Amino acid sequence: MLIQRKLEKVGRWYTRPGVSGRNTGISEAGRSVMQFKTSRPVQALESRAAATGDTWTPKPHATHEQLAVRLEQLKGLSKEQIAKIIADHKAYLTRELVSGGGVQYFTNAPIPVYKHPLQGRPKGSR
């Protein structure tokens, strides 16, 4: 059994139930969880996601928690340094830091699957 957190389209990457989106290097904001069961064995590349700042998941507004993290990261910097960060990296204040470390699977072609949306989070999801 595999799951995928998708925005609009189903991609070619999956993970196991119990692995959070943040552990696979993506924000969970606005994503629905789809459950997949392959109808035959498939080949996939297995890898571990790296920690990153997710700038590709649309986020209309930063949360209070995200703003608190950013403020903590900016402590001790001068006004000039902060202005340079904002000017150089407009996405800096809106990206979501994700932990990575989770196992993910990539396929090079669509795979034959049975799929259906899950209600809420999969059992064991963190």
Domain ranges of the chain: 1-52+98-126, 60-93
* pLDDT of 64: 65
Which of 4-8, 39-43, 60-64, 83-87 is least confident?
Answer: 60-64
* pLDDT of 122: 46
Q: Which residue matches tokens 């890898």?
A: 47
pTM of the model: 0.61
* pLDDT of 123: 45
Asked whether the beta carbons of 117 and 3 are under 8 A apart, the reply is no
